[in-house]
Each structure stands twice: as C-alpha cells, then as structure tokens.
Structure 1
Amino acid sequence: MSPDPDRLAAFVCRQLENFYPDGLDSRAVVQAAMPAALDRVRHCVGQVIAWPQGFDPVMSGQYASFLYFLSNEVGVTLKDGVTATRLFLLNKALHGLELFYDVALPEVFLIGHTPGLVFAKASFGSHLVFHQGCTIGHKLDGHRPHFEGHTVMFPGSMVIGHCRIRANTVIAPGVVLVDCDTPGDCYVLAGPGGPRKPIFKALKAGAAPFWQRYFHA
C-alpha cells in the first residue's frame, strides 16, 4: 500500500480533532510535513525484512513510527511545538508508547510491538529493535544511554543512565542495565543474582550478526 499524502494528512487531522477537540487547525502544518515524514517512514520500513509490502498505515508498529517521524518533522523542522506535541499525544493514545517528538531516533529502527515503550532523549545509533515494554531512561544526574547501533532489546528490558551499548548487543527479556556498558557482539542475560545483575555472553564466532534477523544487510 502506498498511501496518498493528502488523504493521509486528512486522516491524521481527523484523528487529532477526534482525540483533542480543542479547535486547533493543524491541516496546513501536517500537509507541509507529510512529504518528508513519508520519505522517512518508507525508508525505515523498507529496511525491515518482515515488511516487504512497504509502509501500511493500518499496521500499528509502522503507523507509530510514522507518527513519530511526522511529529519530529513538525516540531524540529517546522518549529510547531504545539502541533508536534498533539501528534505525540495521539501516538501515545493510539499505541501506548512514550516517544516525544524531539527524541532523536535514527532513520532506521524497528518497533516490534508498541505497548509500554518509553524513550528518553538518549543517543541512538542506527538499526535498533525495540520490543514491547522496553525502557530507555535517563537519571536525575543527567546521564543518558548511548547506543552505538545494531542492538536488539527484547520485551521488558531496560537501559538507564550512563550506559554505552556497543554494537551488536542483544538484551534478553527483563534484563536491567543501570550505569553499565556492554562489550558489544554479545548477549546480555540475567545473572544468578537476577535481571539487575546481568552477565555477558559472546555471540557465536562466525555467525551472522543478530540484527540481520530483522534488517536487510
């Protein structure tokens, strides 16, 4: 499916009016941001192996990504923070994720399932996978995670504070990293002391990188 930009803009504006009937008219800015947002989501979706059909707004993970790109274009590029915030709130209401418009996600990422995802303003490399219930959080001291890229976070995992997640890291379900780096090319597993005491297991030598299960190489 290749949605018509004008019809998609009208669809988004109707959703905004229904969820937030505050009388604001967002049509002009949404239409202005639509070409760039569509280009970005099509590029992102096109890298995902499981989505050969391309961008389809009725697929929730794709539509959540699209609303993020649209809010980012509106807020960061077009400097309309009010409409960008309304788009963020629409995305949150529809998909149950916390992804503010000025969080700088990479141009290629995959949201497997949306509920319970929380994104702080961390530093994100490319080709990241986020499953449901994942948290990327900052601490009150201002420290935020840095993702080098090509990382998979399985459901319920958390990365909080001063963490450097090196390339080709796979974080197992429920594992919590707080002020903790990873060596890269590794699985991060719950240790004997529980999910907050992780251990690192090297990926099998010679095996294809784990991220290639999700994205085209």
Structure 2
Amino acid sequence: MELINQTRASLIDYVCAQIATFFPDGADTKAAITRNFAEAMGRVEKCFGAIRPWPAGKFNYLQSAQYCLFLYYLANTIWRNDDDSGTATRLFLLNKTLNGIDLFYEIQMPDIFVLGHSSGIVLAKATYGNYLVLHQHCTVGRNYEVAPVLGEGVVMYPGSSVIGRCRVGDHSVISIGTQVVNRDTPGNCTIYQGDGGELAVRPAGRNLIEEIFRV
C-alpha cells in the first residue's frame, strides 16, 4: 500500500511521537507498533480498497477518517497479537483525542467499514457486519449486558442510535436522529422515527452500499 508523504519507518515514528506528546509517561510503544505494523496495514489496505471515494491502494495520514481507521486497526492488532493493553490503550486514547471517536481496541469491527465523520461516534462491544457506514454522533450501545447485532450493509446516519436487544437486518438504513432501542429491523429498509416513540419502516430506496463500497 502506498503511504502518501510517509515511509513505513517515518509513519511509525510519527505515531510514537503523537503518543509521547499527548501521553508523556515515557512508555515504550515503538516495539509493539513496529512488530504489528505490517499486519495492521494489511487490514487497512483491505478496508480502504473497498471504499469507492478513496483512491485504491493509497493511505493519506492527513485524511482524518483514514487515519482514524488506521489507529483502530493498529490498536486492535496489537491487542490481539500481543495482549499489550498499554500500547493499545494509548492508541485508543490517541484516536479519541484526535478524532473524537470512542472505539475501544477490544471491539471487533468488520473487515470493511467506513466513517463519514468520526466526531461523537460511540461504539459498544456489539456484533458488526461488513460494509457498515457510520456518521457523526452515532451510538451503538449495550443495555446492561445485552448488545445489538448489526447485519451486513447497515447505514447509520448522524445522531442515530442502536441500543440493547436489537437485531438490525442486512441493508437497514437508520435515518437521522432515529433511536432503535430493544427493537429489530427487517432489513432492506429505511427506518425513521415515528409517532409516540414507534419506528416507521419503509422499503429501501437506492442501493447506498453499492454507491459507497466496491462490492
């Protein structure tokens, strides 16, 4: 994968310098980042290559949505391979500081997903399907110990939430500000906030997933 205005070594140094700036506790994060960098970049390349608006095979560290996803994949890869919660936590906190997203490194995100804007996104340890689209101020949350299950091709528009015992069917579009709480959606539909807290379900319109992803 081509790194725009960076090399492998310089990008590792860049990430480590950011961590040291925001969390100046003297922790050594470079060894873990270096050891897991190639695998994390493989995951980044698979994800970015499926996103239509982004040039295939290129990563720009100054494109905030790309850098946000990179930091998540790097933190998650380090946690999975090394069980290094220290480095993973610092990467999680760096992502939260720079991009305003609460995406913990233990959460298993899909191989392919995209962020419209990362600000205010909060994601719980739920089940996420591929081709997920998230916009600003989206929330996926647990209700006590019960977490949602999101199918493939789910689109969450700004300010929407999925909370608790929910099964969101494949190709569900959750419209702006809609709250899905302890409810299921049938899939291939658009969900709106109805009267009295009820949900309104309409048949799917155009295929957003084919517009956003190379599927």
Superposition TM-score tier, normalisation by shorter sequence: over 0.9
Taking the TM superposition and a 5 Å limit, the aligned residue runs for 1:171-210 are 171-193=174-196, 196-204=197-205, 209-210=207-208
Do residues 154 (structure 1) and 139 (structure 2) align? no
* Matched residue SS, 1:177: strand
2:24 aligns with 21
Letter of the structure 2 residue corresponding to residue 80 of structure 1: D
Letter of the structure 2 residue corresponding to residue 39 of structure 1: G
* Matched residue SS, 1:110: strand
Letter of the structure 1 residue corresponding to residue 211 of structure 2: R
Q: Shift of residue 123 of structure 1?
A: 0.5
Q: Shift of residue 199 of structure 1?
A: 0.8
TM-score between the two structures when normalised by the length of structure 2: 0.95
Taking the TM superposition and a 5 Å limit, the aligned residue runs for 1:67-146 are 67-140=71-144, 142-146=145-149
2:49 aligns with 46
User: CA RMSD of the aligned region, Å?
Assistant: 1.1
1:60 aligns with 64
* Matched residue SS, 2:103: coil
Aligned length, in residue pairs: 211
Alpha-carbon distance in 2 for matches of 1:202, 1:114: 28
Unmatched segments (≥5 aa) in structure 1? none
TM-score between the two structures when normalised by the length of structure 1: 0.94
Alpha-carbon distance in 2 for matches of 1:78, 1:35: 14
Letter of the structure 2 residue corresponding to residue 213 of structure 1: E
Alpha-carbon distance in 2 for matches of 1:177, 1:203: 17
Alpha-carbon distance in 1 for matches of 2:24, 2:175: 41
Alpha-carbon distance in 1 for matches of 2:182, 2:81: 32
Alpha-carbon distance in 2 for matches of 1:211, 1:191: 25
Q: Shift of residue 197 of structure 1?
A: 2.2
Q: Which whole-Å deviations, capped at 9, do the CAs of 1:158-207 have from their partners, x for residues lacking one?
A: 000010011010000000000000000000012133xx422110124xx5
Q: Shift of residue 78 of structure 1?
A: 1.5
Alpha-carbon distance in 2 for matches of 1:55, 1:169: 29
Q: Shift of residue 210 of structure 1?
A: 2.4
* Matched residue SS, 1:201: strand
Q: Which runs of 4+ in 1 moved over 6 A?
A: none
Alpha-carbon distance in 1 for matches of 2:52, 2:32: 32
Q: Shift of residue 55 of structure 1?
A: 1.7
* Matched residue SS, 1:182: coil
Calculate percent identity across the aligned residue pairs: 39
Q: Shift of residue 77 of structure 1?
A: 1.5
Q: Which whole-Å deviations, capped at 9, do the CAs of 1:134-161 have from their partners, x for residues lacking one?
A: 0000011x11000111010000000000
Q: Shift of residue 105 of structure 1?
A: 0.2
Alpha-carbon distance in 2 for matches of 1:120, 1:203: 26
Unmatched segments (≥5 aa) in structure 2? none
Q: Shift of residue 212 of structure 1?
A: 1.1
